[in-house]
Amino acid sequence: MKILKLKLLLACVVLLILILHLNKSFLDIYSLLKFEPHERMTKIYGDCGGESYGFIKKISKIYNKKLNLRVLNDNPNFTFNNSTWFTYNVNKDYDKDKIILINNINSLKYLDENKYQLIFKNKNLGYFKILQKDNTCFFLQRI
């Protein structure tokens, strides 16, 4: 009886390990233990590229969060999706003077060191200076 119970227990353990393996649960646990959520988010959404989670979070830390920041993230081929929700707060207006521009260097027209014209999707959004830059990601202030 004791041996039978032991065999049953062993069968259950083997079955459990098999399910964990087939379900890639060991890999999931490893990923959770190895990487912080912020790191996993940056890995998935990109630092500056795709949804650019890393850059947007970095800006939101230095920015006074009284207003929401508009994120311009041109996506003609549905290759990545919305980035606005990373820092979005309900019932707050959007800051009209500050904009985050992602993955779109062609939208900025150089005028001089502190003056750029922003044309996004053929729409002239005015003149800006760059507050922060990281590759093709920009934090812009209206002038």
Partner 1 sequence: MIEIINIIYLIAGVTLIFFSPTVLLYKFKKKYGLIFFETYLINIILILNIFLILSFFTLNLNYIFFLFIIIGIANVFYLYKKYNFNKNYLFLIFLLFSFLYSIKIASNLKLEWDGAVIWIFRAINFYEGFSFWNLKNVHDGSLAYPHLGTYGWALVWKNSFVDYEYTGRIFYILIYLISICVAINKYYFNFITSIALVFVFTTLTFDQALFSGYQEPLMFSLIIFIFLLIHKINKSNSLNFLHWTCVINANLILWVKNEGVAFVIYILLILLIEKKIKKKIKIFFLLSFSTLILMKFLIFNFYFTENLTGWKGYQFINFNQFLSYEILQRIPFLIFQLIIIFFKYPIYIIFILFVSYRILIKNFKHDNLKYLIFFILNCLMSFSIYYFVDDPRWHFHASVTMDRILYQTSGIYLIFILNFYQKYFLNPK
Which residues bind to partner 1, rule: CB under 8 A?
11-12, 15-16, 19-20, 22-25, 27-29, 31-33, 37, 40-41, 44-45, 51, 68, 78, 81-82, 84-85, 88-91
How near is the Cβ of 114 to partner 1 at its closest, in Å? Answer: 31
Least distance CB 17 / partner 1 (angstroms): 12
With respect to partner 1, which residue has the nearer C-beta, 68 or 132?
A: 68
Residue closer to partner 1, measured from CB, 51 or 95: 51
Judged by beta carbon, residue 19 or residue 105, the one nearer partner 1 is 19
**Cα dihedral: 103, 68, 37, 138 (round 10):** 30
What b-and-e string marks burial along 1-28, b requiring 16 or more CB atoms within 10 Å of the CB? eeeeeeeeeeeeeeeeeeeeeeeeeeee
DSSP H helices in 24-77 = 25-34, 37-45, 53-62
Please name the amino acid found at residue 99: I
Collapse the DSSP code of 143 into the 3-class scheme (helix H, G, I; strand E, B; otherwise coil) and give the result: coil
Q: Classify residue 123 by its DSSP letter.
A: E
Shortest distance, CB of residue 90 to partner 1, whole angstroms?
Answer: 5
Output 40 or 142, the one with its CB closest to partner 1: 40
As measured in angstroms, the least distance from the Cβ of 126 to partner 1 is: 22
